[in-house]
Amino acid sequence: MDALYGYMLYGISLATMGGIYAVLTLGLNVQWGFAGLFNAGIAGFFGIGAYTTAILTTSATHRHIGGFEMPYIVGFLAAMLICGVIAYLVGKVCLRLRSDYLAIATIGIAEIFRLILKNETWATNGPRGVSEIPKPFEHWPEPWNQFGFLLLVLVVVAIVYVLVEVARKSPWGRVMTAIRENEPSAKAAGKNVENFRMEGFVIGCMIMALAGALMAHYLKFVDPNATDPLLATFLVWVMLIVGGSANNKGAILGAFLMWVVWSATEIVTSRLPDELAIRAAYIRIFLIGLMLQIFLQKFPQGILPEKRPDVAKSNGNAETKMAD
């Protein structure tokens, strides 16, 4: 009975983390799947979101700034707002150039944020991180508190999914697809490509901040490891590419699937003797990376390929201008 209860709790935590990753992956999908933008610093926006809500919602302490005991919703909104502003500034500099520059700048943002976390200990409590972050439903009896949080995460996933799905099918989403498919013809049709990209980038980053905020409340703790490019950037990329870029269902599927794979392999490797367990962890990263490469080369569409919202109509005669 106890064992069963343990499995159930494990299942809930798996689903909760999978859900948080699903939000992250949906955010990346808006950037990569819709707008074709490479964000190599997901971890940065994720971390900024986590720290923002942590500082706003914790109770007063001398360990770090903040301690305003604000309601969760304020934490969530502030996290999204701050990331939105940062994303706008980065976008302003990089979006008129090709995607590579954005990738370099975003990885830079993540690194700078990590430097701030490390150096400004008065504000962030340095490597020890921010703890005692309140968690919704934490006063409910076990396991209902866990269930409650899972429910919250799933509701957020559902809301984000519905919103990005509506966006994808809207005229806005169709223009995004047209830009990604054939930028010159979209430009020729008078679309302000840079603005559309900016919108995609900012919205994506705000969604990532929301995921970061959820994670902070879920773990009740956040430290500079939140900006680890492995867990918060790389894994998200693998999730989206495997699940199916430009397909929101694929993004969610990829997130849950890869989180289960990632966690399951951890169970296997953690049972190995110490020395081997540490090394096996690296093999795990290698294999996940290899999986990404295989999908990129052999199945670039992912498990659930993109479904086109009537692009053909608007994009059909675009190539004629190539002649001469």
Partner 1 sequence: MSVIELQSVYGGYGDTEILHGVSLKVDPGEIVVVIGPNGAGKSTAMKSVFGLLSLTKGQVLLDGEDITNTPPEKVVRKGVCYVPQTENIFPSLTVEENLEMGAYVREDDFKPRLNEIYELFPPLAEKRKQSAGTLSGGQRQMVAMGKALMLEPRILLLDEPTAGLSPKFRGEIFSIVKKINSIGTPILMVEQNAKQALSIADHGYVLVDGQNKFFGSGQDLLDDPEVAEMFLGGGKAVPEASV
Partner 2 sequence: MADFINFYFIPGLLLGSIYALGAIGITMTFVILRFANFAHGESMTLGVYFAWSLVQITGWHPLVVMPIAMILTVLYALSIDRLFYKPLRNAPVVMLVVASFGLMLMTRSVIQFFWGVQLKSVLPGIQKPILVMDYLRISPKHMMIMASALVLMFAVHYLLTYTKIGKAMRAMSDSPELAKLTGIDTEKVVVATWVVGAALACAAGVFLAIDTHVETRMGFKLLLPMFAAAILGGVGRPYGALVGGLIIGLAEEISSYPFIGTEPLLNPGYKAGVAFAIMIGILIWRPSGLFKGKVF
By the 8 A CB rule, do 236 and 24 touch? yes
Q: Which residue's CB is nearer to partner 1, number 16 or number 315? A: 315
CB atoms within 10 A of CB 258: 24
Binding site for partner 1 (CB under 8 A): 175, 178, 182, 185-186, 188-189, 191, 314-315, 317-324
State the Cα–Cα distance between residues 166 and 186, nearest whole angstrom. Answer: 21
Q: Which does 314 bind (CB under 5 to 8 A by kind): partner 2, partner 1, none?
A: partner 1
Q: Which residue's CB is nearer to partner 2, number 5 or number 282? A: 282
How would you class 146 by CB atoms within 10 Å of its CB: exposed for 0-12, middle for 13-18, buried for 19 or more?
A: buried
Helix axis angle, 2-28 to 193-219, nearest 10°:
160
Of the candidate residues 286, 307, 319, 321, the single one contacting partner 2 (CB under 8 A):
286
Q: Which does 315 bind (CB under 5 to 8 A by kind): partner 2, partner 1, none?
A: partner 1
For the bound state, the minimum distance from the C-beta of residue 173 to partner 1, rounded and expressed in Å, comes to 14
Quick one: which segment of 20-28, 59-67, 206-214, 295-303 binds partner 2 (CB under 8 A)?
295-303
How would you class 20 by CB atoms within 10 Å of its CB: exposed for 0-12, middle for 13-18, buried for 19 or more?
A: buried
Q: Which residue's CB is nearer to partner 1, number 156 or number 186? A: 186
Considering the rule CB under 8 A, would residue 85 count as an interface residue with partner 2? no
Which residues, 6 or more positions from 281, have their beta carbon under 8 angstroms from its beta carbon?
A: 266, 269
By the 8 A CB rule, do 56 and 71 touch? no
Q: Which does 108 bind (CB under 5 to 8 A by kind): partner 2, partner 1, none?
A: partner 2
Q: Which of 157, 149, 123 is nearest to 220 (CA)?
A: 149
For the bound state, the minimum distance from the C-beta of residue 180 to partner 1, rounded and expressed in Å, comes to 12
Sign of CA dihedral 16, 18, 23, 24: positive
Q: Which of 250, 232, 247, 239 is nearest to 34 (CA)?
A: 247
Q: Which does 317 bind (CB under 5 to 8 A by kind): partner 2, partner 1, none?
A: partner 1
Considering the rule CB under 8 A, would residue 282 count as an interface residue with partner 2? yes
Q: Which residue's CB is nearer to partner 1, number 93 or number 188? A: 188
For the bound state, the minimum distance from the C-beta of residue 108 to partner 2, rounded and expressed in Å, comes to 4
Q: Which residue's CB is nearer to partner 2, number 83 or number 110? A: 110
What sections of the chain are H helices per DSSP? Answer: 2-28, 42-57, 72-94, 99-119, 121-124, 144-169, 171-181, 183-188, 193-219, 229, 235-243, 248-270, 274-298, 311-315
For the bound state, the minimum distance from the C-beta of residue 168 to partner 1, rounded and expressed in Å, comes to 17
For the bound state, the minimum distance from the C-beta of residue 147 to partner 2, rounded and expressed in Å, comes to 34
> What are phi and psi for residue 98, nearest 5 degrees?
-70, 165
Considering the rule CB under 8 A, would residue 276 count as an interface residue with partner 2? no
By the 8 A CB rule, do 83 and 45 touch? yes
For the bound state, the minimum distance from the C-beta of residue 195 to partner 1, rounded and expressed in Å, comes to 15
Of the candidate residues 97, 159, 162, 264, the single one contacting partner 2 (CB under 8 A):
97
Of the candidate residues 73, 85, 100, 143, the single one contacting partner 2 (CB under 8 A):
100
For the bound state, the minimum distance from the C-beta of residue 295 to partner 1, rounded and expressed in Å, comes to 25
